[in-house]
């Protein structure tokens, strides 16, 4: 069965510091991968999605970037964090075959920028 | 531009009664619709989905209805249980050149009262 991992679970970082959040998927190959952010009291905002290695699409201009160095690894980064980057970050995957529709989420990372 | 809208931020229902959560969308090209349940500090978990070519899908206590002409879908939970208390997100899938993007609403917080 498929499993999606995210780490760390929680992170407190000062403004201006770098960020690296990691997501890995097991039990599937060539998944579509996604990064979402849920700000306090808000819905899920799609940040990035990827259909393959080094193929990243950005949904909103922002202070973040994403990379996919391996098929089942997705990394969210920032060179200098802003206060507004605080939120709950979620990684998700979906299949690419016919008849596969659902998207599955990892446990999330709570980021607090101080 | 919010393509998927959940206009009710919260809903309270007595245990044993029906819960009806609503969702509206604007993009007629969405081909699949999904409902997720989310507890605090956890990733959303998939509940039920419906293809755009259907108008109803049922799974146990959960039924999703789709009205394409009104661009409206709803999730019915019968009977509601205290464990159903969570935030519910509706999502719509757009397919572009074989890439799936999932657009989420802002969520409805359901509280089932014992």
CA distance A68 to chain B (A): 16
Q: Which of A92, A105, A108 sits opposite B41 (nearest CB)?
A: A108
Assign A100 a pLDDT band (cuts: 50, 70, 90): low
CB contact under 8 A, A108 and B43: yes
Contact between chains at A102 and B98 (C-beta distance less than 8 A): no
Contact B98 A96 (CB under 8 A): yes
Dihedral, B111, B37, B80, B76 alpha carbons, nearest 10 = 110
Q: What is the pLDDT of residue A63?
A: 87
**pLDDT of A99 higher than 70:** no
For residue B15, give Cα distances in angstroms to A25, B11, B74, B76, B79: 37, 13, 19, 14, 7
Mean pLDDT, chain B cut into blocks of 10 residues (114 residues total): 88 97 94 93 93 95 97 97 96 83 93 95
- Chain B's closest residue to A106, CA to CA, is B43
Spell out which residues of chain B touch residue A92, defining contact as CB-CB under 8 Å.
43, 102
Tell me the CB-side half-sphere exposure of residue B66, using CA atoms within 13 A: 23
* pLDDT-based confidence at residue A28 (cuts at 50, 70, 90): confident
3-state secondary structure of B60: coil
Q: What is the pLDDT of residue A40?
A: 73
Distances A110 to A10, A101, B26, B45 between C-alpha atoms, Å: 5, 27, 31, 17
Chosen for mutation from B4, B41, B43 (greatest number of chain A CBs closer than 10 Å) is: B43
Per-residue pLDDT for A41 more than 80? no
Q: What is the mean pLDDT of residues A35-42?
A: 84
The candidate with the shortest Cα–Cα distance to A63, out of A74, A76, A52, is A76
**Above 70 in pLDDT, residue A93?**
yes
A56 or A42: whose pLDDT is higher? A56
Q: Do residue B91 and residue A107 have CB atoms under 8 angstroms apart? A: no
CB contact under 8 A, B49 and A36: no
Identify the sign of the CA torsion B46, B51, B57, B63. Answer: positive
> What is the rounded average pLDDT for all residues in chain A?
91
Distance (Å) from the alpha carbon of B110 to chain A's nearest alpha carbon: 14
pLDDT tens digits, B62-74? 999 999 999 999 9
């Amino acid at each position: 069965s498929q499993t999606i991992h995210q780490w760390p679970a929680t992170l407190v970082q000062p403004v201006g510091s770098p960020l690296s959040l990691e997501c890995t998927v097991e039990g599937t190959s060539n998944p579509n991968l996604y990064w979402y952010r849920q700000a306090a009291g808000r819905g899920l905002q799609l940040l990035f999605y990827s259909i393959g290695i080094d193929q990243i699409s950005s949904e909103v201009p922002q202070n973040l970037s994403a990379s996919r160095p391996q098929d089942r690894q997705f990394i969210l980064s920032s060179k200098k964090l802003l206060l507004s980057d605080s939120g709950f970050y979620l990684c998700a995957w979906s299949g690419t075959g016919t008849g596969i529709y659902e998207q599955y989420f990892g446990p999330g990372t709570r980021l607090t920028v101080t | 531009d919010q393509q998927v809208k959940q206009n009710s931020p919260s809903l309270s229902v007595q245990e044993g009664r029906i819960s009806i959560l609503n969702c509206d969308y604007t993009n007629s090209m969405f081909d699949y619709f999904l409902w997720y349940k989310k507890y605090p500090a956890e990733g959303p978990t998939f509940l039920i989905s419906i293809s755009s070519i259907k108008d109803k899908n049922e799974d146990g206590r959960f039924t999703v209805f789709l009205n394409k002409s009104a661009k409206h879908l709803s999730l019915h939970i019968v009977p509601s249980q205290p464990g159903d208390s969570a935030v519910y997100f509706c999502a719509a899938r757009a397919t572009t050149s074989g890439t799936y993007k999932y657009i989420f609403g802002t969520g409805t917080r359901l509280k089932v009262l014992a």
